Structure 1
Amino acid sequence: MEMAFCFEQNSSWARLLTAIHGHCWDDSLPCWTNASGTWSSIVQTINNLHIQHSMDTSLLRLHIGNGQQANFWFDPWFNGAPMATRFPRLLALETNKNGVVADHFHHDSWVHSWRRNPRSGVEVDNLNSLQDILHNVTFTSDNDYWTWDGGSFSVSQARHIIDEQHLATFSRPTSWCRQVPIKINIFIWRLKLLRLETKANILNRGMALEDDCCNLCNLHVENETHLFLHCDTSKEIWLAISQWINLTLPNWSSFNDLWAWIDGVPIIRNQRLIVTTIVFSSLWSIWRLRNNINFKDKSFRKCHVVDNIKVNGFNWLFSRFHKKRCNWNQWLQSPLYSL
């Protein structure tokens, strides 16, 4: 469902929506960030996404009034592009990076708080370009305000912009395996996003850790690719699985290679389902081993990992096939021929 607002100065709809959402100047709908109402929430949300995540605000235009609300360096208050992206060398010299536009204008002239004067070359060229831009800026007594550029506002259009920049994209769709528990599917989904709580991800979020070494080998940085595919301990586990299922497992360089191998290995449909379940069980067991070592839980040992993979795979697979029965000994000897 879309919300489209077009206004005429003297229409009753304009007066009604003006009372709800703020003053209406022309065929667009301005909104101040300190106002109340639905439009203010929209503006504040998109503006926060822009400040924190550099979201494209090409359709949401900021207009300068008195310059008291717009950030000089990081808000797109002149021709839709922040000064920080236009003049990064000058931003590095600025000591008042969080100042609003009005903070940089005193006694009818533009002033800056440089930690040193711009030097010849790129810095002076940037300064001259900045001064040319500022020469065309005029202030009014009104507050700074936002408008939706391009005509009518569309919720679906705004959502599309946000999703396009912040939702993860994949070359292949995320598949949901019905033969494993929900928590395992969620675990695999987060693994595909590379969003597990590995030490590398925790450090990237700004949290403090004693070290970033892999818990299984203590040699390399612990990220998803190393932990599950490249660590010597994980390689030993994959080798044992390869010998058990009598199928050669390649040395995957990335998870894309792993998912592509599952889809492309030359086996029949039921065997592919078994392989998928065993791979999911292996990834889950490696993660459990890592967590138990990290939290000093000795109940889950490395020597038990392969046994745990076999037990989980058997339970997950055949508890969901009510019309299929499998002998445990047959599973241990030839898992690919169990269905």
Structure 2
Amino acid sequence: RTRWLWQQAKFPDKPWTGLPFPSDKLSYSIFIASTVITIGSGATISFWHSHWWQGTPLRELFPQLYSHSRGHNLSLMTALADRKWITCIKENPTAQVLADYVRVWNITAQVNLSPTQPDDIRWKWTADGQYSARTAYQMLFQGRIRTNHNMLIWSSRTPPKCQMHAWLAIQGRCNTADQLAKKNWPHTPTCTLCQLQPETALHLFAQCQYTRLLWQMILQRFHAQITPPRADEPSLEDWWYSSVRSLSKQERMKVNCLVICAWWHVWKERNARIFEHRASAITEVCSLINEELRLWCTAGLVRAMWMPPD
């Protein structure tokens, strides 16, 4: 949509100029923030709507004067000729309108038109000042938050419910005891696996004694070349990313699937102990993880072509 605003401003002689464009307030704000106007004759610059003064349209700087005026479609050249913008002010102005009038008078007094020079508009994000869709999209995403979630989770081709669980886990948003306490829901504050520490996502999936013993068994069985989480591990995502960032793509895929599956079964074991009062030994959980991965591979879910050991 920003492209149409650019076309309208850059090529005012096109036959479709003046027709309604598929634009909105957000697109217009992006256009204003991304362009710079150079005043020439003022013939193609809108007095009220173009951002020729300090990058902001006069209608936004002086909304009450704008509402109390006619001639909203005046060009800058026409508005300044014989001060026509003044004659467009309606009768019975308020005190604020008069104050805005004085400010606009001072602004227009500083404008010097060049009748022989055409107006120009430049796109800030390209060297030649011309609009490109690529730079427009880059500008839109400048404030985005960069994460490793795609590399670790979303590209793993594991079942969506397991991906979502892993995503919640690394953000500490699973319904562990600390989260249940925030919601005032019934809960047991201590970890149901080790019965030693308060239950949080970080504790449950990395710091818990039960989970760390499970990880040691998993890594031995699958021969994964990563370091198991420590008892004082500060972050699930940091441990995961540091474990796979130096691996090849195929090995990284294997480890990602292993982590997602392991966390899924740790969570299932935790729920089985709470809701079904049924506890499984570490060896049993490890066997369940092995079988789950085998099913994923057989079903073609796992992108990395590998099979868990028997």
TM-score, normalization by structure 2: 0.49
TM-score, normalization by structure 1: 0.45
